[in-house]
Structure formats: C-alpha cells, structure tokens
C-alpha cells in the first residue's frame, strides 16, 4: 500500500480523481480515500499545517494503514533563487531550521532513503532539482529572513512539514519520498504569489505520481 499525503486537499485531488475508490473514511477529523491506481493500492489524505500536525497525522496514518511507501506531495517556497514557481524539488535531506540545540549543527539532518521511487526519479527526471528541504513553523515573508535561512542551511526550499514528515517516517523505518512544487519565493510577495500559483501548480507532484502508478508497481 502507498500512503499519499498533501497539506491541502487540492494537492492530492489528482490521485483521488484517478483511483478506483474502494473506501472513504475519516481519521482524526481528516478525510481519506483508499483505492487502486494501476496495480497500486493507494490511500490519499490531507489536512494538516505545521510540524506538530504533520507529525501526529503521519504517525496515525502509518499506524492505521501500515503502508510500504509514504509520499508527501505538496508545495514549498524557494530558497535557491534559480528556482521558479512550478518547479519541482525532490527532497534528499531534511532539517528543522527553527529548532536549534547546542553543538547539534549538522546532526539533525535526516537523509531520504535510497528507494526505488527515488532511483526512478533520478534516472528519468534529471532536470528536476534534488536537495535539502528545511522546515519551520512560520511562514517566511521577507528576503532578509529567507537569505539568512538559505545561507545557514544551504537548502533548496523551505516549508512547514517535510522535516517532521521525514522524522516520523524515519523513526518507523518507513520508506518515503517528498516531492514539492515551488509556489512562492519566501519574500514580501509570498501571500500574493501563493494565492496565484497554488491553483496552477499545487497538484503537480500528485499528477506526476499518478502517471507513474498507472504504469509501474511502486509499492516500496
């Protein structure tokens, strides 16, 4: 089974629209759909913002469905200014930029597993960006703050969920992948950029995985 998670419902809607639904339900107030795409059994769920909600929902869904692969398919802000809205970033490392412990520099980084999905993405989508994604509980609205985070963590993108998701998956010995679409540039135009780009690009990671699941068995 594959567990596909989005922060907002439109991010996983392409998966739900393409699956043969065999069950719908609710867990901790969040709706989920379970069905089949190609030869893959899939559960899609969304509805959590920030590291705490991401952590407890990821854990609850792993406990309930016991998937073999967990995917986080959602949006992020660019730290690397060569990225543009609509670009895709695949996480290879994850870190909380707003959690700091003495003498912990570099020790809190979680490395993504080298699973079959990651190998497939690296072979067939070489033009995409692969690298570190950092997470925090606040929305970044200024160039000054963005550049400070970028210089101290050397990451491609930032969000409010990837690090918590990766930490829970890692603690459960769970295979996972994180695919993000850039929605804003983490600057003074963050809100307007997000409002404009979310309807255009939010489903892009999910649409990619739908096409992959139609033709490949990726349950690991």
Residues with catalytic roles? 11, 184
For tokens 């983490």, name the residue: 186
Give the whole-angstrom CA distance, residue 138 versus residue 66. Answer: 31
Give the whole-angstrom CA distance, residue 51 versus residue 38. Answer: 32
Q: Strand 88-96 relative to strand 110-111: parallel, antiparallel, unpaired?
A: antiparallel
For tokens 């892009």, name the residue: 204
- Classify the phi-psi angles of 16: left when phi > 0, otherwise alpha if psi is within -120 to 50, otherwise beta: alpha
What's the full length of the chain, in residues? Answer: 220
3-state secondary structure of 37: strand
Give the whole-angstrom CA distance, residue 159 versus residue 180. Answer: 9
Computed from CA positions of residues 64, 113, 75, 202, in that sequence, does the dihedral angle turn out positive or negative?
A: negative
């Amino acid at each position: 089974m594959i567990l596909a998670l989005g922060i907002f419902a439109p991010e996983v809607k392409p998966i739900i629209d393409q699956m043969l639904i065999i069950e719908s339900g609710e867990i901790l107030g969040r709706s989920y759909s379970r069905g089949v795409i190609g030869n893959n059994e899939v559960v899609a769920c969304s509805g959590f913002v920030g590291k705490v909600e991401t952590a407890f929902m990821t854990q609850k869904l792993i406990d309930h469905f016991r998937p073999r692969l967990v995917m986080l398919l959602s949006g992020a802000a660019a730290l690397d200014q060569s990225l543009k809205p609509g670009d895709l970033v695949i996480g290879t490392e994850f870190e909380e930029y707003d959690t700091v412990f003495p003498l912990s520099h570099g020790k809190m980084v979680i490395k993504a597993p080298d699973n079959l999905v990651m190998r497939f993405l690296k072979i067939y989508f070489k033009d995409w960006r692969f690298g570190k994604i950092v997470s925090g509980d606040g929305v970044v609205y200024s160039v000054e703050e963005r550049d400070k985070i970028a210089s101290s963590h050397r990451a491609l993108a930032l969000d409010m969920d990837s690090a918590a998701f990766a930490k829970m998956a890692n603690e459960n010995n769970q295979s996972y992948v994180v695919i993000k679409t850039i929605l804003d540039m983490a600057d003074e135009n963050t809100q307007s950029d997000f409002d404009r780009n979310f309807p255009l690009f939010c489903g892009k990671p999910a649409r990619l995985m739908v096409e992959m699941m139609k033709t490949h068995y990726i349950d690991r």
